A and B are shown apart, each in its own frame.
Chain A
Amino acid sequence: MRIQLIGTIALVRKETGRVLRIWVQTLIPPGITMSLYFIIFGTLIGKRIGEMEGFPYMEYIAPGLVMMSVITNSYGNVVGSFFNAKIQGHIEELLVSPLSEVSIVIGYLAGGIIRGLAVATVVTFIALFFTQINIKHPLMTLFVIIMTAGVFSLAGLINAIFAKKFDDIAVIPSFVLAPLTYLGGVFYTVSLLPEFWQTLSRFNPILYMINSMRYSVIGISDVSIQNALMMIVVFFILLFSSAVILLKKGIGIRQ
């Protein structure tokens, strides 16, 4: 047990250290991207849109933009880190050690969550230059950020476990994650959509995450907040278990 604790701390330290050591790659790009979103969608286009659900457009989209950065960055962090370890071969440092699969998953998960939290802080700070943010439910906000970062870190880990070439880690973010995020209600309320598209949107898990964030920050949501939070927790448990099982079976890492 002591070995697992020390080993997990060592891996958490290594993975979080990586995020902070290469901060120019991990923290600056999302800051620049989100600044552009705030300028274009908030300041330039947002003024013409006016209010959304009773809130200035900029204030309405800010929580969604924070969540969008969290999703992209936590996923990218873990998929990149684990896949690089596979390609360079130093994943074997972990595989030959007595570290358990649960400890390995926790280590990579921590790296993704730390990156998600760091990016959320950077983007929130940038948002303050464009709009006021009065967080209604601070603890829930923190919970939603951590759990969503966790869900996408685990998804990134599973992607990296299966990936055999660099294309395999680029496909999911480009062709799955990005469309689901943009269609997950970052820039609009789903009530604006025709009924068919509203129903379809409800099958998009990212809709629940973005609305959880919006609810915890400004107090409104397109979906039931209980259902949304429960969905995040269920996804987290499912993906965590899947990642542990895949590592135990040695899929993608043991011949």
Chain B
Amino acid sequence: MQNAFGMHALSIKDLSKKYKSGVEALKSVSFDVKEGDFFALLGPNGAGKTTAIGIITSLVNKSSGSIEVFGHDLDKELAKAKSCIGVVPQEVNLNLFDYNFNILVNQAGFYGIPRSEGKKRAEQYLKQMQLWEKRKTNARSLSGGMKRRLMVARALVNRPKLLLLDEPTAGVDIETRRMMWDFLRDLNANGTTIILTTHYLEEAEQLCNKVAIIDEGKIIENDSMHNVLKKLKTEVFILNTEKPLDKAPEIDGYTTALKSPQEIEITVSQEQGVNDAFSTLQTSGVKVLSMRNKNSRLEELFLDLTKGQPGEGE
């Protein structure tokens, strides 16, 4: 579907899903993802994120509503819509007994890519995911992080225009996560639209330009990352001091607390800024060595919007 602002990679209208158990995972959800976006779909456990991705990839049957992928209606042009999509699921779903190289070549085949071309792509993506040395081993011998990278490589083998990532960095080490972030940024810069669900809100804040927050099956926020973060009324910072303190310094207009003898927690409202606080601290003879956010800004907002509910499982 084309609109004044460009092609929609994904257009979801009034999507609902009620499971046989009676659970309503999605309640008339509507949102659009523009071509080229790096879109974060966030929400607590059980909010309906995985259900939404399941319906988009046709692994879950919807109860009602409509979905278009690059203008292809899932009800009318399912095969064309599927050809545009690559998906990295939350759970490992690899054939653990097949060779890693074969997994990619077969997946390319299922998308109608001839075997010779599939082999070239398998080599390309295994190398990009630093798994080429593991091409002749089977998936069960891979570590958790390697399995995640293999699933990313598998999702890319059809060169999808829309990549769906459901918790792609869950359980991977920091080095792998950073490598994946760089890779995904490049992929997005080269034109692939990406939808990401993640529990690492720092990840979403770092990577995504758009964000939708889903809670109890409903979209409660949907805007650019910039606009969403502007809605954050207060931020909490941790200040590391040079010398240990007995109690938190009192600063007019700010709430402070001593987290440890050399750590002050300070809550700053958006209008205030931090200059006045630093001036007061300097006058009191408290030297601040460094400062950091207690939580990521998106995390603060997320907890505020979802009332800090931990969720009950997807």
Contacts and interface: CB of A to CB of B under 8 A. Distances in A.
A89 B93 contact: yes
A251 to B, nearest CB: 10
Chain B interface bracket (under 10, 10 to 19, 20 to 34, 35 or more): 35 or more
Contact of B112 (A6, A95, A255): A6
Interface stretch (B83-91, B183-191, B238-246): B83-91
Interface string A83-119: 0010011101111111110000000000000000000
B91 A93 contact: no
A112 to B, nearest CB: 18
A254 B61 contact: yes
B95 interface: yes
B291 interface: no
B19 A3 contact: no
A126 interface: no
Contact of B115 (A10, A95, A250): A10
B106 A6 contact: no
A4 interface: yes
A10 B110 contact: yes
A7 B93 contact: no
B58 A3 contact: no
Given A3-B83, A6-B113, A254 B106 contact: no
Given A2-B112, A9-B109, A92-B89, A97 B82 contact: yes
A100 B58 CA distance: 12
B82 to A, nearest CB: 4
Interface SS of A by simple majority = helix
Contact of A254 (B58, B95, B111): B58
Contacts of B30: none
B54 A255 contact: yes
A128 B111 CA distance: 45
Nearest to A250: B61
Nearest to A4: B112
A10 B109 contact: yes
Chain A interface bracket (under 10, 10 to 19, 20 to 34, 35 or more): 20 to 34
A97 B80 CA distance: 10
Contacts of A100: 79
Given A10-B115, A85-B95, A250-B61, A99 B19 contact: no
Nearest to B94: A90
B274 interface: no
Contact of A88 (B80, B89, B93, B107): B93
B93 A92 contact: yes
B154 interface: yes
A252 to B, nearest CB: 12
Interface in B102-128: 102-103, 105-115, 118
Interface in A1-45: 2-7, 9-11, 13-14
Interface string B176-218: 0000000000000000000000000000000000000000000
B83 A98 contact: yes
A6 B106 CA distance: 10
B110 A94 contact: yes
B95 A7 contact: no
A5 to B, nearest CB: 8
Interface in B39-61: 54, 57-61
B61 A97 contact: no
A98 B79 contact: yes
A100 B79 CA distance: 8
Contacts of A92: 57, 59, 89, 93
A96 B114 contact: no
Given A85-B95, A96-B82, A97-B107, A6 B58 contact: no
Contacts of B158: 97
A96 B61 contact: no
12 contacts: A3-B112, A6-B112, A7-B112, A10-B115, A88-B94, A89-B91, A93-B106, A93-B107, A96-B59, A97-B158, A98-B111, A254-B60
- In the complex, the 6 A-B pairs of residues with the closest C-beta atoms, listed nearest first: A10-B109, A3-B112, A89-B93, A97-B110, A98-B79, A90-B95
